Amino acid sequence: MESHVSHRERLWLYIFVGLVIFYLIAPTFIVVPVSFSSTTSLSFPPPGWSTRWYESFFGQEKWIGSTWVSLRVAFGTMVLATVTGIAASYALHVSKLRMGNLIRSTLISPLAVPSILIAIGIFFVYARIGGMLNTIHGMILGHSVVAMPFVILTMSAGLQSYDMTQEMVARSLGANRFKAFMTVTLPQLKFSVATSMLLSFLVSFDELIISLMISSGPVSTLSRVTFATLRDDVDPTLAAVSTLMLIVTCIPPLALHIVTNRAKKKGA
């Protein structure tokens, strides 16, 4: 759609937007060249090149151990938040529960509550009941709180554009409800499910403040160790870590974007 203003008259707009986008995207990639620096300084451009900071990353227990912790927690969060979130979104979608709106708002509310509050809340609960602080399962539960809204929002949107009568047909043909859901409804919602899983994984992998409160020592997450290192002794190993994180967190969404686009085109 074109309006009555010509491209030439809009030149300033293009330039301004270009600069803003540059500001948004470019700075992050500076970690890539710095991670291949040959010196301990973070100067750019680096005076020489080496892979010593990657060696330092893969050679240190604190980095490898915490990466492993992060992956386990993120995987657990992905499973827990997606499964419970899908169950809740399905129930909220098909039934007219009197408390439906209240339940939905409760499940989405972690998005609006500042994470520091969620973090000290969880810390308080865990400090009382014991066996939860500094554990993988404790962190999975904690991260599921902040991942939940993303699953609920994604799945609700998916369910909204899904024709529920299909499930009814399957059931009238003799499938029980669970089977009908698993074989008819869920496969058609696969993009929403994939997005939910991806989001909850990334939310957990990136989460810092809850991890700061409830984990330490050998069960520190990668983000926690990164934060502590950033605050105390900065070295280019951090740039190597950042580059790896950039790869981990950038590729899946891009892939999902491409796959979804292709599927949409096929459908159209």
Partner 1 sequence: MAQAVLNLPPSSLNPDQLKENHQALQKEQRSEARTMFRLTLPALLIVGLLMVAPIGWLLSMSFVGQDGSIGLENYILFFSEAVYREMFVNTFVIAFVVTAICLILGYPVAYLMAILPSPWSGFLMLLVLMPFWTSNLVRTFSWLIILQRNGLVNQLLVWIGAIERPIALVHNMTGTIIGMVHIMVPFLILPLYASMKAIDLNLMRAAANLGSTPAHAFRRVYLPLTMPGLVAGTIMVFVMCLGFYITPALLGGGRIKMIAQRIEESLALYPTWGPAAALAVLLLAMTAICLGVSLLLVRRLTAEMRG
Which tokens sit at 57?
A: 């990353």
Nearer CB in complex with partner 1: 191/227: 227
Using the 8-state DSSP alphabet, how is residue 37 labeled?
B
Residue keyed to tokens 């605050």: 231
User: 77 vs 32, 96, 138, 178, 210, CA distance in Å?
Assistant: 29, 28, 10, 23, 13
Q: What are the backbone angles phi and psi of residue 37, rounded to the nearest 5°? A: -65, 155
Q: What are the backbone angles phi and psi of residue 224, rounded to the nearest 5°? A: -70, -45
Rg (CA), the chain: 23
Rounded CA-CA distance 246/243 in Å is 5
49 strand-pairing partners: 37
CA dihedral of residues 90, 88, 104, 76 (deg, nearest 10):
-130
Residue keyed to tokens 């280019």: 236
Using the 8-state DSSP alphabet, how is residue 134 labeled?
T
DSSP H helix total and E strand total for the chain: 14, 0
37 strand-pairing partners: 49
Q: Find the shortest distance in angstroms from Cβ 92 to partner 1.
A: 6
**Total Cβ atoms within 10 A of residue 31:** 20
Sign of CA pseudo-dihedral 70, 73, 77, 78: positive
